[in-house]
Amino acid sequence: MRSISFSLNGAPVTVEQVDPLQSVSQWLRSTGRTGTKEGCAEGDCGACAVLLSDLDAAGGPCWRMVNSCLTLLPMIDGRALRTVEGLEDEGGLHPAQAALAQRHGSQCGYCTPGVAVAIAEAYESGVPATPAAICGALDGNLCRCTGYRSIREAAREALCCRDGAEHGLMVAPRAPRAPSAPACGLPPSLDLEGRCRFLRPTSLAELLELRARNPEAQLVAGGTELGVLVRKKLAAPAALIATDGIAELRAIVERDDAWVVGGGATLSLLEEVLRASASATAAPILKMLRVFASRPIRNRATLAGNIVTASPVGDLAPVLLALDATVVCRSQEGERRVPMDRFFVGYRTTALRADELVVAVEVPKLPAGARFDTYKVSKRRDLDIAIVSAALRMELDQAGVVRLARLAYGGVAAQPVRATRAEAFLVGKTLEAALPDVLDVLKSEFTPIDDVRAGQEYRRGLVASLFHKHALGVQSGAQDEAPDFIVAAPWQADARSRALPHDAAAGHATGRALYVDDLAQRRPALDAWPVLAPVARGTITRLDTSAARALPGVVAVLTAQDVPGVNDVGAVRHDEPLLAEGTVLFHGQPVALVVGESVEACRRAAAAVVVEVAAEPPVIGVRAAIAAERYHNEPHLIARGDVTTALRESPHRMTGELLTGAQEHLYLETQAAFAEPGDEGDVLLHASTQHPSEVQAVVGHVLDLPRHKVVVVSPRMGGAFGGKETQGNTVAALVALAALATKRPVRMQLERDVDMTITGKRHPMLATWEAGFDDDGRVRAFACRMVADGGYALDLSEAIIDRALFHLDNAYLFEHARFEGRVAKTDTASNTAFRGFGGPQGILVVEDMLAQVAGALGLPPELVRERNFYPERGAVTHYGQALDDHRVPRLWHALKDSAGFGARRRAVDEANRGSPWVKRGLALTPVKFGISFTVGVLNQAGALVHLYRDGSAQVNHGGTEMGQGLHAKIAGVVMRELGLAAEQVRVMKTRTDKVPNTSATAASTGADLNGAAVMDACATLRARLAPVAAELFRERGGDADVDDLVFLHGFVRPSSLSGTLQVSLADLCEAAWRRRVSLSATGFYRTPDISYERARGRGKPFHYFAHGVALSEVELDGLTGMKRVCRVDILHDVGDSLNPAIDRGQIEGAFVQGMGWLCGEELRTTAQGVLLTHSASTYQVPTIFDAPDELHVTLLHDAPEPGVVHGSKAVGEPPLMLAIAVREALRDAVRAFGGAGPVQLPTPLTHEALWHAVQRRRGS
Amino acid sequence: MTAPDSGPTATKRTRLVRLLVNGATHDVAVAEHHTLLEVLRYQLQLTGTKQGCDKGDCGACTVLVADADNRRAPVLSCLTLAVDVEGKEITTIEGLATKGKLDPVQDAFDRCGALQCGFCQSGMMLSARALLDENPRPTLPQIQQALSGNLCRCTGYTKILEATLLAATRPAAAGEQPPKEPA
């Protein structure tokens, strides 16, 4: 058989010539069903989520969300599939979709189809509208934009709508729906041929026979491990035998003394059974399940599958070990019962024989009074692999003497193990008697390894401290308690033009919004895959593409020799070869490009390209570059006063050093571009870029084409954050080159690992500083040298280090300052723009310095900060810009009052006194951020506005939409400028043939620059329309003055007349056309009065400043280093907001992204320059649990900024730095563990780093 | 969209067919009822061959198909099932120029300005090429006869006839097979 059948969104589908190893997501997308996205291809982001029919614990049909990227096509044979396109019905949007669209639950929208599916699963399957259940339902969906507050509240409203509870959605509730017969039963028998044979027996006898007959075949249940191997490692098993067609394997039976979990039972089913159980043993197992991978994985993965893979970590393996579970194995020979502690026999090996399978796992229930709990420590609490997991069980007698101990751990040895020495030590002693010494036994019981997740010392420490925690009975919100959130207070509605939702809100929620690859999948096109340099530095001695060219499906293999123009994609300095030529400049540098008929053909061919390099030792990291004196540029110096004297005369002096962490953008949509050769030697590119004009320039340069032959469209981006300002150039230039070489359209969306390997990150910067201050904490002098790790090429690093220097003052006045910055050259990918663009690094350094000053003096840090503030007016920055409206003090005092800082400070201190192991921390930090490109020429923008005869308008501007809501803000501006209704305004996709020579949408200036250009075009149109209107009014007997007309709500009327004299825009446009008046106008804007002299370090680089203040409260579990952000209050200054709801989304999203940078995201690179953390599974961005439990954002009211679009201020970047409040609150919590003097903290502040900080503070 | 067999309603029978187009070999999963024109345009993306009427009345879809003796004859691809030309050498307009050099017919059409909108032109030139292969020095009536299956709505035909006459004065790259496409 070569075909499979299933139901797709209610319609029967048969797929012929099935490739059994194709994933459901690949099939959906390649057949034009592009609502389903792919963000990681390994089940770690949830963008690909779809609903699959299944059976619940009661045997009834249900929908389960699964990762379609890991689900192979044959697995859905006979089942029903519901994608985001199938959530809508005749009644319109599903409440899950309506809630996301109406509650600003999407920004870039790339995660949104998956989020909609996740909420829909919760809706259809009766998940209650409680915070814990909602977070649980969404723990498999990453969002990089929103910060999750809007998503969780949207989910709650959708579920309230279902339950008939109070909600504010405009949507008709509908009854939850289960999949309908016949797809809801067990899947039918299947024997599918192809490059992999896929067998699905429907009886155990048949399965055992197949197993015996096909020893090479792999058993597969949910395929969550297999899918990763197929997708990421191109694994191609010869045969697969699925176990999901066998009823008895899928069952879970609850006995009085145990649960018998069938070998094919999913973890979600286990959760359902445990939740309904009266046994006290269920809760600790459920606790571990809650943090086991994610909801969509648990919906497919099985308990048996988790243990047969014998992962050294295996979250559930320690649980089974501690409970003395039994594995029931069966073959045609018969049944064998293997005790759990004999099941694992070594690294990734078990006692299971080749002809056997696990038919069940018996999980005993514990007697009443047993002390049993489970713990998992990971870099991120949800959706992560454990650093150490533990299941700890003790049974004590009446006298408190330990009679039985089972201490089982994962992540500390080659396999999950019990700490038998410690167990033996405990038995016969009371806990009190055993306690100090058993910890030492535990610390030496294992020899765990250092790896990408954590170091040996931390793992060793956790083995002891998790037991300690269990013995003490300590529970923390950070590790043990369920997720929770408080619904933020509702915001008042604004005027329509300031309350527009994101222009694609509904498109995001329905999957209809088309991204670059979605457009490309709708057209016939070749695919491409880059060949990457195997080492970081060296000379290419051999590059042989002949074997690759000969492989099937390969159309071309391109190298630097095939570039007709200049082999360079550098943005500023021409130092970035498109394809390596002669030398290798960083690990992962593209060396060649394979172009072919499928991604897989290209990928296999890429592996066949021979690249030999005479490797040289690379320079990795900023310290190594400083030692080697390798720099991209000369130092930039900004100084005032006399630092040397002021330092000498200061009562106190302090020096410090801080290495700020790198950060990966992890936009959900990886770099993507699609090129179509035109018929005039031209090329049309769709690219996911913040800077279409630069892509145009680069492509012209590479292909030796004049720019008029290159048209670039940036339809929308699935997130960018600076990572698509220059880093998309390579992908766009490669597909353009391939399209011209093959004369066929070529598309490429980078696989996540390739994307992370070849693109730049946020710059790590090494700051060395000295401060002089007085007894009150007033800083008299501050000297700082910052060196940025630029990577192999200059890219934008010079402007980035400049911005770091411009922000080393943050909100503080330093009379004597000397700041020096320079960009180091290392042999890694070229670091690049990332939200804040150096500003965050500068502000982090000054906030770190002030915290240490406060610590040294024993003063409250907020007092030290206050004492150093710039005054509200009259001060001048270190580079000479006057501060005429410094709003930080006003925001600071207002937030302290409104958020109840004083009372909460006392409450936190009080709580900490009674809690030795879990501490709270509280901190307040400000931000002042300069708005403008510091490279002056970039501060210009263009627009093109067309009015049509029906009064509708098409608005084109140079800004790109990456989720920040720019188009909605611009549409609002046009509504006010031309008096149009929302329905009359359409903002078009960004194209270089509509508005030429644009700047990147960056530096938070998108709305400022493009909004002003659009206003200019609108003013031109108004000036042309006004005489026509006046003429019409005179014809009707009125006497209207051309200069006295109001354009409002779709009409034009004289402002001085209250009568009926008015004309609709539609009639006015028609009248203008009849009078042969042009209805199309361009607009232009350049920011006035800015300049900066780099050589002198003086000038006015910024048009104005944006301000904000944040108060954070955290909880820190001192035994594990795990943290929880309990509450955040933000007061932010966006001037008179162009769109408060969108600004709120920017503030919340930037804040959580900043938290990720400071407190969790960690990039690891080897000394050889190989990035180890190049996937969503090894690089942890915040999940829904990491969002603050309470997140209150308030905008400063009545705060117009003169000279900016409708009184507004930029918002994209500034709030990111408010997250420093979380880092400072963690410092406050660490301080509360004891010790004296300043608390030193590294970056990023991972759980491991926090644990070490607490250890140091406790003096152990 | 990729192969039409993967669509939701595609339950039609498909066959793996080896097509030899312009010197390249394509193994294509072809629906048995699909015409050569459909496969050329929608599966191989060779859109130089135009669809003018889809019933053999206009000649815009003309391609050349070689017989066993390697003699190329004009064929209406809209009336030819793709499965029926399996293994035969097919020349489309994309394969008329050889080694980057225009065929004399193309060159002559260019010199004479024998085009306006250009939609009939690929079929017209392939018909002319077939004629010249068979009869290197045709008379005007012979040309009129050979091109009578190709409609042109723009030019009035005069320049097309002139161009074919001009092409006949130049030697074709005689007997030369189209080169393999660069890998």
Tell me, yes or no, whether B69 and B39 share the same domain. Answer: yes
Residues B183, A524: C-beta atoms closer than 8 Å:
no
- SS3 string, A1096-1127, reads CCEEECCCEEEEEEEEEEEEEECCCCCEEEEE
Per-residue confidence (pLDDT) for residue A829, from 0 to 100: 98
Encode burial over A25-58: b for 16+ CB neighbours within 10 A, e otherwise: bbbbbbbbbbbbbbbbbbbbbbbbbbbbbbbbbe
Tell me, yes or no, whether B114 and B56 share the same domain. Answer: no
Helix (H, G, I), strand (E, B) or coil at A214: coil
Neighboring chain A residues of B2 at a CB cutoff of 8 Å: 30-31, 524
pLDDT tens digit string along A360-376?
Answer: 999 999 999 999 999 99
Dist. CA A1124–CA A1160, nearest whole Å:
12
CA A1119 to chain centroid, in Å, comes to 28
Q: Would you state the structure tokens that stand for residue B52, as one six-digit string? A: 């003018």
Per-residue confidence (pLDDT) for residue B10, from 0 to 100: 44
Tell me, yes or no, whether B90 and B110 share the same domain. Answer: no
Q: Which of A1001, A965, A507, A525 is nearest to A749 (CA)?
A: A525
Residue B180 domain flag:
no
Dist. CA A725–CA A831, nearest whole Å:
12
- The minimal CB distance from B11 to the residues A14, A27, A549 is found for A14
By the 8 A CB rule, do B62 and B76 touch?
A: yes
CA dihedral B20, B21, B27, B28 (to 10 degrees): -130
Percent of chain A, pLDDT > 90? 95
pLDDT tens digit string along A259-316?
Answer: 999 999 999 999 999 999 999 999 999 999 999 999 999 999 999 999 999 999 989 9
Per-residue confidence (pLDDT) for residue B12, from 0 to 100: 62
Helix (H, G, I), strand (E, B) or coil at A1216: helix
Longest dimension (CA), chain A: 106
For residue A344, the surrounding DSSP H or E stretch is strand A344-346
Over residues A1147-1175, the mean pLDDT reads: 97
Q: Does residue B11 belong to the interface with chain A, where contact is any CB pair within 8 Å?
A: yes
In A472-512, DSSP assigns E strands to: none
Q: Would you state the structure tokens that stand for residue A1014, as one six-digit string? A: 């659009």
Per-residue confidence (pLDDT) for residue A494, from 0 to 100: 85
Residue B182 domain flag:
no
Tell me, yes or no, whether B24 and B91 share the same domain. Answer: yes
State in Å, rounded, how far the first CA of chain B is from the last one: 24
CA distance A614 to chain B (A): 29
Tell me, yes or no, whether B66 and B19 share the same domain. Answer: yes
Query: What CATH number should be reported for the domain holding residue B123?
Result: 1.10.150.120
**Among chain A residues, CA nearest to B94:** A743
Tokens 């700041």 belong to A819
Residue B129 domain flag:
yes
By the 8 A CB rule, do A1176 and A43 touch?
A: no
In chain B, DSSP assigns E strands to: 14-21, 24-31, 62-66, 72-76, 89-91
Residue from A576, A676, A1213, A1248 carrying the catalytic annotation: A1213
Q: Would you state the structure tokens that stand for residue A339, as one six-digit string? A: 């005790």
pLDDT tens digit string along A10-38?
Answer: 999 999 889 999 999 999 999 999 999 99
Tell me, yes or no, whether B48 and B121 share the same domain. Answer: no
Residue B10 phi, psi (nearest 5): -80, 95
Tell me, yes or no, whether B91 and B108 share the same domain. Answer: no
Neighboring chain A residues of B14 at a CB cutoff of 8 Å: 16-17
By the 8 A CB rule, do A1012 and A1077 touch?
A: no
pLDDT at residue A1205 greater than cutoff 50: yes
**Radius of gyration for the alpha carbons in chain B, expressed in angstroms and rounded:** 17
Tell me, yes or no, whether B64 and B35 share the same domain. Answer: yes
Q: Would you state the structure tokens that stand for residue A45, as one six-digit string? A: 């982001």
**Which range (A255-259, A570-574, A832-836, A891-895) has the least confidence?**
A570-574
Residue B9 domain flag:
no
pLDDT at residue A914 greater than cutoff 70: yes
Residue A865 neighbours by CB under 8 Å, 6+ apart: A811, A812, A850, A854, A924, A925, A926
Residue B8 domain flag:
no
Residue B181 domain flag:
no
pLDDT tens digit string along A77-124?
Answer: 999 999 999 999 988 999 999 999 999 999 999 999 999 999 999 999
Residues B182, A30: C-beta atoms closer than 8 Å:
no
Tokens 């066929």 belong to A744
Active site residue A798: no
By the 8 A CB rule, do B113 and B44 touch?
A: no
Q: Which residues in chain B (93-132) have CB-CB distances under 8 A to chain A?
A: none
Neighboring chain B residues of A14 at a CB cutoff of 8 Å: 10-11
Q: Would you state the structure tokens that stand for residue A709, as one six-digit string? A: 């032959």
Beta-sheet pairing, A816-824 with A636-640? antiparallel
Residues paired with residue B81 on neighbouring β-strands, in sequence order:
B35
Neighboring chain A residues of B43 at a CB cutoff of 8 Å: 524
Residues A524, B45: C-beta atoms closer than 8 Å:
yes
Domain count, chain B: 2
By the 8 A CB rule, do B63 and B73 touch?
A: no
Neighboring chain A residues of B5 at a CB cutoff of 8 Å: 16-17
pLDDT tens digit string along B73-121?
Answer: 999 999 999 999 999 999 999 999 988 899 999 999 999 999 999 999 9
- Kindly state the DSSP code that residue A707 receives in the 8-state scheme: G
In a mutational test of the B interface, the residue from A9, A15, A16, A81 whose CB has the highest number of chain B CBs within 10 Å is A16
- SS3 string, A610-674, reads EEEEEECCCCCCHHHHHHCCCECCCCEEEEECCHHHHHHHCCEEEEEEEECCCECCCCCCCCEEE
**Among chain A residues, CA nearest to B9:** A13
By the 8 A CB rule, do A736 and A702 touch?
A: yes
pLDDT tens digit string along A545-578?
Answer: 999 999 999 999 999 999 999 999 999 999 999 9
Query: What CATH number should be reported for the domain holding residue B32?
Result: 3.10.20.30
Beta-sheet pairing, A371-378 with A357-364? unpaired
Residue B146 domain flag:
yes
Dist. CA A803–CA A797, nearest whole Å:
10
Residue B6 neighbours by CB under 8 Å, 6+ apart: A15, A16, A17, A27, A30, A31
Average pLDDT, chain A: 96
Beta-sheet pairing, A197-200 with A190-192? antiparallel
Q: Which of B95, B122, B144 lies at the terminal end of a domain, its last residue?
A: B95
pLDDT at residue A780 greater than cutoff 80: yes
Q: Does residue B10 belong to the interface with chain A, where contact is any CB pair within 8 Å?
A: yes
Q: Does residue B47 belong to the interface with chain A, where contact is any CB pair within 8 Å?
A: no
Tell me, yes or no, whether B47 and B28 share the same domain. Answer: yes
Beta-sheet pairing, A1051-1054 with A1063-1064? antiparallel
Percent of chain A, pLDDT > 70? 99
Amino acid of residue A760? G
CA distance B31 to chain A (A): 12
Dist. CA A626–CA A647, nearest whole Å:
25
Residue B144 phi, psi (nearest 5): -60, -40
Over residues A66-78, the mean pLDDT reads: 97
- The minimal CB distance from B14 to the residues A17, A554, A744 is found for A17
Tokens 């299947």 belong to A190
Residues A30, B2: C-beta atoms closer than 8 Å:
yes
Helix (H, G, I), strand (E, B) or coil at A52: strand
**Among chain A residues, CA nearest to B24:** A555
CA distance B75 to chain A (A): 25
Dist. CA B68–CA B88, nearest whole Å:
8
Cis preceding-peptide flag for A188 (omega within 30 of 0): no
CA distance B9 to chain A (A): 7
pLDDT tens digit string along A437-486?
Answer: 999 999 999 999 999 999 999 999 999 999 999 999 999 999 999 999 99
Q: Which of B27, B60, B95 lies at the terminal end of a domain, its last residue?
A: B95
CA atoms within 13 A on the CB side of A524: 15
Per-residue confidence (pLDDT) for residue A492, from 0 to 100: 84
| Confidence band of B173 (pLDDT split at 50, 70, 90) | low
Neighboring chain A residues of B10 at a CB cutoff of 8 Å: 14, 16
Distances (CA, A) of A1205 to A462, B29, B33, B93: 54, 57, 61, 55
Inter-chain Cβ pairs, chain A and chain B, closer than 8 A: 41
Residue B183 domain flag:
no
**Among chain B residues, CA nearest to A10:** B8
Q: Would you state the structure tokens that stand for residue A938, as one six-digit string? A: 């970039």
Tell me, yes or no, whether B88 and B27 share the same domain. Answer: yes
Read off the pTM. Answer: 0.95
Per-residue confidence (pLDDT) for residue A181, from 0 to 100: 66
**Domain of B36?**
14-95
pLDDT at residue B8 greater than cutoff 50: no
Residue A62 neighbours by CB under 8 Å, 6+ apart: A53, A54, A55, A56, A124, A125, A178, A179
pLDDT tens digit string along A1052-1061?
Answer: 999 876 667 8
Tell me, yes or no, whether B51 and B119 share the same domain. Answer: no
Residue A382 neighbours by CB under 8 Å, 6+ apart: A139, A291, A294, A1183, A1184, A1185, A1186
Q: Which of A863, A928, A872 is nearest to A901 (CA)?
A: A863
Tell me, yes or no, whether B153 and B81 share the same domain. Answer: no
By the 8 A CB rule, do A1090 and A932 touch?
A: yes
Distances (CA, A) of A911 to A484, A823, A900, A1110, A1232: 20, 46, 16, 22, 11
Alpha helices in A658-796 (DSSP H): 692-703, 729-742, 752-758
For chain A, percent helix, then strand, then coil, each to nearest 5?
35, 25, 45
Dist. CA A430–CA B55, nearest whole Å:
95
Per-residue confidence (pLDDT) for residue A91, from 0 to 100: 86
pLDDT tens digit string along A511-532?
Answer: 999 999 999 999 889 999 999 9
Amino acid of residue A848? D
Q: Which of B95, B130, B150 lies at the terminal end of a domain, its last residue?
A: B95
Q: Does the predicted interface ipTM exceed a cut of 0.90?
A: no
Q: Would you state the structure tokens that stand for residue A404, as one six-digit string? A: 């039985």
